[in-house]
Amino acid sequence: MILTVTLNTALDVTYRVPSLRTGASHRVSEVLERPGGKGVNVARVLAALGHEVTVTGFSGGLTGRVLRDRLTDVPRLTDALVPISGTTRRTVTLADELTGATTHLNEPGPDITHAEWSAFQEVYDDLLASASAVALCGSLPPGVPVGAYAGLVRTARAARVPVLLDTSGTALRRGVAGRPDIIKPNAGELAELTGFHEPLRATQDARRRGARAVVASLGAEGLLAVTPEGHWSATPPARLAGNPTGAGDSAVAGLLAALVEHRPWPDRLTRATALSAATVLSPTAGDFDRGTYEEFLTTVTVTGVATAA
């Protein structure tokens, strides 16, 4: 079982409009709702790839009930969310059908009490006993300690469960000190963490800060990985036009799936890049077409150098 942690789950609501204009009224052509938060997105992709996956984190209020109801529709996914007194947030996406541009409105999330945080930690400890890997994903809701991810990383490492951290800002800076097996920042998050904008230098610096391996998501340029086994870059077959929402979460799912399948790093990056690209081209943000994914598996280019044994 692969475990994904989403401390700040969300109900993702997408409004599609023919053309988005600031200050104007709009007729909405379509409304979509689905469970969200980075770790939930990762779990949905892993389940689609055929892996058994468990989702944990927090859920509460009417929004939380809707989110959990929607999770029951996902095969191979187990809901282990911890109930809270607050209400799960919503994230609202405004999709402009004319230009393809998307505008995102992200609520901050509910306040988590000390008792709720303690209850989650007990659930997390229990779930690690049967986990083959764990992903810690997304922002921290109010009330959760700023160093929470560092503690969760250490708990996973003590249980000998490989752990991937995908967050940003202070949560990433504090979390990397826990020495996660993999971090997966995007270019902006990597620059904020290290102060460097040149990708290879920034990725190497992030490793020195505590991560065993760093996989940087560089948008249309693909992925760059610096690991104990070597460093590689993976690029999609062409520059892709589409909706990048959820592409990074799909890359995380690809890395985790290949990790538990014991695949070498070049294969991990091939799968992560192909999944990310297939997500960009999907008509629904955060989903991927299996046929497109399998086609991209044969066209992703991986270059790099393995470390001498």
- The closest of 103, 99, 105 to 18, measured between CA atoms, is 99
How big is the CA angle at 121 (ends 45 and 262), to the nearest 5 degrees?
40
Count other Cβ atoms within 10 Å, centred on residue 134.
30
Beta strands 82-83 and 102-106 are unpaired
The residues with which 2 forms a beta bridge, in sequence order, are: 53, 133
User: Which residues, including other chains, have CB under 8 Å from residue 188's CB and lie 6 or more apart?
Assistant: none
- The closest of 63, 92, 93, 65 to 79, measured between CA atoms, is 65
50-65 residues labelled b (16+ CB within 10 A) or e (exposed): ebebbbbbbbbbebbe
Length of the chain: 309
- Inter-residue contact 213 to 181 (CB < 8 Å): yes
Distance CA 120, CA 152 (A): 11
- The closest of 80, 88, 96, 103 to 138, measured between CA atoms, is 88
Distance CA 267, CA 281 (A): 21
Check 12, 166, 181, 249 and give the catalytic one: 249
Phi, psi of 175 (to 5 degrees): -65, -35
- Active site includes 205? no
Distance CA 125, CA 106 (A): 29
User: Which residues, including other chains, have CB under 8 Å from residue 159's CB and lie 6 or more apart?
Assistant: 125, 128, 129, 131
The residues annotated with a catalytic role in the active site are 249
